[in-house]
Amino acid sequence: MSPGILGKKIGMTQVFRPGGEVVPVTLVKAGPCVVVQRKTPAADGYDAIQIGFLEFVKPARINKPETGHLKKAGAEGVKFLRELKLQPGDGDPKPGDKILVDSFKAKEKVDVTGVSKGRGFASLVKRHHFRGGAATHGSMFHRAPGSIGASSFPSRVFPGMRMAGHMGVQDVTVRNLEIVDIDTEDNILMVKGAVPGPNGGYVVVRRARKRGL
């Protein structure tokens, strides 16, 4: 049993359960993937596998060192690689083994990790959900940050102060999403709810670590 699978976000739609309930789902093209490398406690100090998402990629987009690395596992053409730690019961996968979407089942819980959409330079109100000041009565404090530190002591701004700045383009994980359905012919995973990132963005689907929360 694989600890997870790589995929690409297609978009959102909705499906109907047998009882008539409407469920919003995200379609993820999950796999096929291939095991590129096996990490072992004896050689690397931990137990994990490196897997790659099989898709059409121009050879010129993969550098020579990575091409040689992929050739050992017979996984030429893989561009998106991620490493997943193995847990007890995950079996003994070897380089060259395929990971397909049928390794998951409906109603199973998964954690999905993706890169959030970039929002550019954002203010405190948008980036950190600050309330802002009054909008009328001569107020000149609408979307300003306010005080960010005293002048006499400590005479500096502490690290980690919430301020305006670059927003998005960060690894975001949404936990305990339910798998509504699986399409083994087209390698489609239907996950209940929203998944981080734009349509066409790469995602990592792992089996839920904190089930039941």
Instruction: Tell me the per-residue pLDDT of 87-108, one tens digit each, with 9 for 90 and over.
Output: 877 777 888 888 888 888 888 9
Residue indicated by tokens 């990575």: 66
pLDDT, residue 103, reads: 86
pLDDT, residue 190, reads: 92
pLDDT, residue 14, reads: 92
pLDDT, residue 212, reads: 52
**Angstrom distances, CA of residue 171 to CA of 86, 98, 131, 197:** 21, 26, 26, 9
Measured CA to CA, the distance from residue 195 to residue 174 in angstroms comes to 7
pLDDT, residue 196, reads: 93
To the nearest 5 percent, what fractions of the chain are helix, strand and coil? 10, 35, 50
**Angstrom distances, CA of residue 101 to CA of 4, 74, 92, 166, 189:** 9, 20, 18, 35, 7
CATH architecture entry for 4-118+173-207: Beta Barrel (2.40)
pLDDT in tens, the chain (213 residues): 688 899 999 999 999 988 888 999 999 998 788 888 888 888 888 888 888 888 877 777 788 888 787 877 777 778 888 888 888 777 778 888 888 888 888 889 999 999 999 999 999 999 999 988 888 888 888 888 888 888 888 889 999 999 999 999 999 999 999 999 898 888 899 999 999 999 999 999 998 877 554
**pTM of model > 0.75:** yes
pLDDT, residue 161, reads: 92
Write down the domain spans for the chain: 4-118+173-207, 119-167
Question: Residues 188-198, buried b or exposed e (16+ Cβ, 10 A)?
Answer: bbbbbeebbbe
**What DSSP string runs through 75-133?**
-TT---EEEEE--TTS----TT-EE-GGGS-TT-EEEEEEEPPP-EEE-HHHHH-----
pLDDT, residue 211, reads: 57
pLDDT, residue 23, reads: 92
- C-alpha count within 13 angstroms, C-beta hemisphere, residue 39: 14
pLDDT, residue 177, reads: 92
